[in-house]
């Protein structure tokens, strides 16, 4: 991959790529899975550099500290001046929650037999980019009538890992249930439906447990 392309992907991750170049790059991303992997990698690197990524137990404390620092920076300006005591109360709650959750995750990740890929990804304090999850390749493809379903890249079945019991977190199914219920009352603009987030392979997070 050329240096120019790497620089473009890096700029895209940072949101600094000019619009015209973004569109060209999006075209290539559409065609080239390797580019999409590079994009994911760059995003992870950026998240780690920002100190807001948590991908293993040993980084939990660092991740929580960075996230707490980010909390202060992200409080909307209008509110910051309106009710500072209230904000600090909320942030205090978040800090305690994040710290306890961080410890909980640390413990969870060190449980014998822990399989990070099978347990719901947990966001301690966002923006958190979870580690790249293993992709479950289609085990078999069946011939399906109808030109649309028979399209070249639509998987027909999947090999899936056994679900692990989730400890101390709201189960993914419950969170999914909340999201689905919310989709009924939300006001999507364009096609940014909250259901997109359930379908994508991103960090479907459980709530940190206490």
DSSP structure string for 111-174: STT--TTTSPEE-SSSS--PPPPPP---S-----SSTTTT-TT-------PPPPPP-SS--HHH
Structure tokens at 161: 């890992």
Shorter beta-carbon distance to other proteins: residue 110 or 182: 182
120 Cβ neighbours under 8 A, 6+ residues apart: 166, 169, 171, 172, 175, 204, 205, 206
Contact between 93 and other proteins per CB under 8 A: yes
CA separation for the pair 96, 115 (Å, rounded)? 26
Nearest distance from C-beta of residue 61 to other proteins, angstroms:
16
Nearest distance from C-beta of residue 72 to other proteins, angstroms:
11
Binding flags for other proteins, 115-154, as an x/- string (CB under 8 A)? ---x-x-xxxxxxxx---x-xxxx-----xxx-xx---xx
Shorter beta-carbon distance to other proteins: residue 113 or 165: 165
Question: Binders of other proteins among 176-195, rule CB under 8 A?
Answer: 176-195
Q: How far is CA 210 from CA 56, 59, 67, 165, in A?
A: 19, 19, 18, 16
Question: Binders of other proteins among 99-118, rule CB under 8 A?
Answer: 100-101, 118
Shorter beta-carbon distance to other proteins: residue 58 or 186: 186
Question: Binders of other proteins among 47-66, rule CB under 8 A?
Answer: 47
Question: Binders of other proteins among 10-39, rule CB under 8 A?
Answer: 13, 15, 19, 23, 26-27, 29-30, 36, 39
Structure tokens at 133: 């999850």
């Amino acid at each position: 991959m050329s240096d120019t392309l790497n620089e473009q992907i890096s700029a895209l991750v940072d949101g600094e790529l000019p619009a015209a170049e973004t569109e060209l790059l999006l075209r290539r991303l559409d065609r080239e899975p390797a580019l999409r992997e590079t994009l994911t990698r760059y995003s992870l690197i950026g998240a780690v550099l920002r100190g807001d990524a948590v991908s293993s137990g040993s980084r939990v404390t660092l991740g929580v500290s960075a996230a707490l620092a980010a909390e202060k920076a992200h409080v909307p300006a209008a509110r910051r001046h309106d009710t500072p005591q209230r904000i600090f109360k909320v942030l205090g709650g978040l800090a305690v929650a994040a710290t306890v959750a961080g410890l909980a995750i640390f413990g969870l990740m060190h449980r014998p037999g822990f399989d990070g890929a099978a347990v719901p990804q947990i966001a301690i304090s966002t923006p958190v980019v979870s580690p790249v999850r293993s992709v479950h390749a289609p085990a078999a493809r069946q011939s399906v009538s109808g030109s649309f379903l028979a399209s070249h890249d639509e998987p027909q079945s999947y090999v899936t890992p056994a679900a692990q019991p989730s400890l101390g977190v709201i189960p993914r199914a419950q969170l999914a249930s909340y999201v689905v219920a919310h989709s009924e009352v939300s006001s999507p603009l364009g096609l940014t439906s909250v259901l997109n987030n359930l379908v994508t392979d991103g960090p479907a997070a459980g709530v940190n447990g206490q």
